[in-house]
């Protein structure tokens, strides 16, 4: 079954209501074996396209993953990017800001991790935390030591949305494309995954009290995500709402999103010039 990634794309003028967006859709595979085969083919094709992207050395790709705890960000990154040359991909995880990071504007700490030309950078969480967890827990703002006039609750979030949109537009104008994945998980599925973590010796080290206390703010998080998606999904830097209750399905959708992005650029290896052919001939003569 062909995956149409545009089904999951948030249009620049869309009004997202997450209660109307599914957290699970009909699987794009009929068996575990078929899932593995499709994903393997996707990864193989992505690897080839990434090498081509690396060789052209022109544009760059910033891939952002956001979602509630246990939504599958780590697993999606691991499974979809497996097999891709690590020289061309870097993964960054952004957790609670350090003291130094809090002394700068909210975009500062992620800016130094932007991808070089020909590279892919993956953000596991990102500057979007500043309009998500910080919005749900506004007391965090006090640690940022902002001037009082900037703490107006009526304007601070729209100001940050505008800063993000302008920043991503700036990146696009300078050859860095931004794709944003929101892994849309249901509260019931999160509870199931947390129980599985508790019962698994290989995973229960991950479980913390915050995994459970944050569930009390689920509605607030969904509202924050809705406002964020509606305010920052643009033509050049779109959000994709990926149903995340089925991890395997989510990985296939994400890999298709990336394939569609690569294929939209009609990449090809740099053409060899006459001067370059002469240079290569001189190299051969030295062997």
Domain 5-285 fold is: Rossmann fold (3.40.50)
Asked whether residue 198 carries a pLDDT value surpassing 90, the answer given is: yes
Reading the block at residue 73, the tokens are 């960000």
Between helices 247-263 and 32-56, what is the axis angle to 10°?
30
pLDDT of residue 202: 81
b/e burial code for range 55-89 (CB count within 10 A of at least 16 → b): eeeebbbbbbbbbbbbbbbeebbebbbeebeeebb
Percent of the chain with pLDDT over 70: 100
Residue 258 CA to residue 152 CA, distance in Å, equals 38
CA–CA separation, 184 and 172 (whole Å): 26
Bridge-based pairing state of the strands 120-124 and 60-67: parallel
The pLDDT value recorded for residue 125 is: 96
pTM over the 0.85 mark: yes
* DSSP state letters, 62-82: EEEEEESTTSSHHHHHHHHHT
| Predicted pLDDT at 176 | 96
Token couple for 134: 């910080």
36: tokens are: 């593995």
- Residues in contact with 136: Cβ distance below 8 Å, sequence separation at least 6, in sequence order: 217, 220, 221, 224
**How many whole angstroms separate alpha carbon 187 and alpha carbon 194?**
11
Mean pLDDT of the chain: 92
Q: Where are the domains of the chain?
A: 5-285
């Amino acid at each position: 079954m062909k995956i149409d990634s545009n089904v999951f794309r948030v249009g620049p003028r869309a009004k997202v209501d997450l209660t109307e967006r599914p957290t699970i859709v009909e699987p794009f595979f009929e068996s575990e074996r078929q899932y593995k085969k499709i994903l393997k083919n996707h990864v193989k094709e992505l690897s080839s396209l990434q090498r081509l992207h690396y060789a052209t050395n022109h544009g760059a790709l910033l891939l952002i993953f956001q979602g509630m705890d246990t939504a599958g960000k780590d697993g999606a990154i691991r499974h979809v990017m497996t097999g891709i040359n690590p020289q061309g991909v870097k993964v960054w995880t952004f957790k609670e800001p350090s003291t130094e990071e809090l002394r700068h504007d909210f975009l500062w700490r992620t800016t130094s991790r932007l991808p070089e030309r020909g590279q892919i950078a993956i953000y596991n969480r990102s500057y979007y935390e500043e309009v998500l967890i910080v919005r749900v827990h506004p007391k965090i703002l006090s640690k940022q030591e902002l001037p009082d006039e900037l703490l107006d609750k009526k304007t601070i979030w729209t100001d940050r949305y505008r800063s993000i949109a302008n920043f991503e537009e700036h990146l696009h104008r300078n050859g860095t494309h931004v794709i944003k994945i929101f892994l849309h998980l249901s509260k019931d599925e999160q509870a199931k995954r947390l129980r599985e973590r508790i019962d698994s010796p290989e995973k229960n080290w991950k479980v913390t009290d915050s995994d459970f206390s944050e569930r009390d703010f689920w509605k607030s998080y969904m509202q924050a995500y809705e406002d964020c998606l509606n305010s920052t999904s643009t033509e050049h830097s779109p959000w994709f709402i990926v149903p995340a209750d089925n991890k395997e399905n989510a990985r296939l959708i994400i890999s298709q999103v990336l394939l569609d992005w690569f294929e939209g650029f009609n990449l090809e290896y740099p053409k060899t010039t006459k001067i370059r052919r002469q240079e290569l001939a001189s190299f051969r003569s030295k062997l």
